[in-house]
Amino acid sequence: MRILVTGGAGFIGSHLCESLLDDGHTVVALDNLITGSTDNIAHLAGRDDFSFIRHDVTEYIYLQGELDFIFHLASPASPADYLAFPIQTLKVGALGTHKVLGLALEKKAGILLASTSEVYGDPLVHPQPESYWGNVNPVGPRGVYDEAKRFAEAMVFAYHRTHGVDTRVARIFNTYGPRMRADDGRVVPAFICQALRGEDLTIFGDGTQTRSFCYVSDTVRGLISLMNSGFHEPVNIGNPEEMTIVSFARLIQREIGGGVGIRFEPLPLDDPKVRRPDISRAREILGWEPTVSLEQGLVPTIDFFRRVAGR
């Protein structure tokens, strides 16, 4: 197939492009490089089956030739990024999704929206199934991302019901791995980079809040499985193994060493206290579940940040 990946120069997007190429598809990556980087796809340059277009999806998208499928990943995705680019985040969720859906309709292509666990907000149901409608503060600082993705999901379903567009929705939970940015504000690169610099690890709140961490190859495999499924309802893609932030900090201390300590800072507004996907639907519909343990995934992730930091 010929496949378009918006946000294709981003962390997950670049790994997805790579995997699709390995599967024999032709891939067009599109990215405005606000948070993505051509460094992530430099190793793909020069291939006949890969091309890159620098473009903002909130503007009209012109793509010559046939197109079979679109993965719509374009969006700031970390708290540091969507707090720095709040209006751009809202625009890509609304206008960008509208433009990409219009392209899918024009090309008669299928489309997968990369949504997020943030649509559940600070959840009152745990773990979070796809049937849960969420607990979101629309006017809080995180609302720009939460509501952008919730609107994007509504737009996807409107195009599916009104125009018969072949749609998918993946709600992606915390994903980690090589090519994350050191400064993106998420806990995995934050802790690893602090430990490599010999700094104490910064925990916001008391550290009892929980997260689940899915290695990027598992997330990408889930997205491709969803593309191939023909299933239209939202599907959680994430690792159901949950751990506290304090436990994760202890793990990074053990993996990297250096005798670094832990310091505590106030918890940001609306920061979720629990985060764990119910992946029953993914198991049943896709036959998918994560296979890479956190300890296994941290090895190449730490190696990547060592190379970046020159340590």
Helices H, strands E: what count in the chain? 10, 13
CA nearest neighbour of 6 among 72, 91, 64: 72
Task: Classify burial at 31, counting beta carbons within 10 Å of its beta carbon; exposed 0-12, middle 13-18, buried 19 or more.
Answer: buried
Question: In the 8-state DSSP scheme, what is residue 266?
Answer: P
Q: Which of 82, 120, 145, 215 does the annotation list as catalytic?
A: 145
Q: Is 145 one of the catalytic residues?
A: yes
Burial pattern 145-175, b for ≥16 Cβ within 10 A else e, equals bbbbbbbbbebbbebbeeeebbbbbbbbbbb
Query: What's the CA gap between 249 and 24, in Å, rounded?
Result: 39
CA nearest 178: which of 289, 297, 74? 297
Distance (Å) of CA 72 to CA 115, 118, 188, 193, 231: 9, 17, 24, 29, 16
> What backbone phi and psi angles, to 5 degrees, belong to 36?
-85, 175
Catalytic residues: 145
